[in-house]
Amino acid sequence: MQRRNFLYIATSLTMAGGALYSCAALMNATAPTADITARRTWRDRFYKVDDFAQGEVNLLKIDDQPLYIWHRSNRQISEALAQDNYADWPDKKLRMAAKQPGLPAYDTLRTNSHRWLAVWAMCTWRGCLTHAKMGDYSGFFCPCCGAHYDMAGRFRKGLPSQNLAAVPLLLTETGDHFTLNLKKTPDPVIWKT
């Protein structure tokens, strides 16, 4: 009788252990993979202000999409504000996440206190990578279609009809870090042939 009880207990424990192992393996198999987890991290990432030199434009890659961060100097802020003439803009819409649609694309609304500008770096016509601090307005230039954008990423000349999409940049209370208020990355542009 004792031997039979031992076999029942041993078999029950083995089956319970196997069931737990199977559940753990199933949970592990359905967990997000490392590349998915890595893509999630940029949403909550804080960037050090010191890593972005004043007057320079840095290119970040977020979900395989290029994003420009421009830490403007005082001279660049003055130039950008001189371009802030509503009547000169072909596209007057703000085109910015987390802001009300229909607002005009003033520099104040597209930047963080004029000092910081974050825009998606793809041209709005064919999706080519724009070049920063170039073009007729010292802003952004698309070599594919010849589009010129001003220093706030507003479309000024060429084939596109839309501004570069701006991203809200939020400074921390101490001002030594910032985060990007990204709801989603833009859809990749499909080339038309």
Record the tokens describing residue 69, joined without a space: 């961060």
Q: Specify the range with the lowest mean pLDDT, choosing from 61-70, 72-81, 85-94, 143-152.
A: 85-94
The DSSP code for 115 is: T
Domain boundaries, the chain: 2-31, 40-180
Please tell me the distance from the alpha carbon of residue 153 to that of residue 15, in angstroms, as a whole number. 64
Place of tokens 């060429």: 158
- Residues 164-189 pLDDT 10s: 888 888 888 888 888 887 765 555 44
Cβ atoms of 180 and 169 within 8 Å: the answer is yes
Cβ atoms of 68 and 121 within 8 Å: the answer is yes
Cβ atoms of 65 and 120 within 8 Å: the answer is yes
pLDDT of residue 95: 60
Query: In CATH, what number does 40-180 get?
Result: 2.102.10.10
- Residues 28-42 pLDDT 10s: 777 777 666 655 555
pTM of the model: 0.69
- CA 90, distance to chain mean position in Å, is 25
- How many CB atoms are closer than 10 A to CB 124? 26
- Percent of the chain exceeding pLDDT 70 equals 81
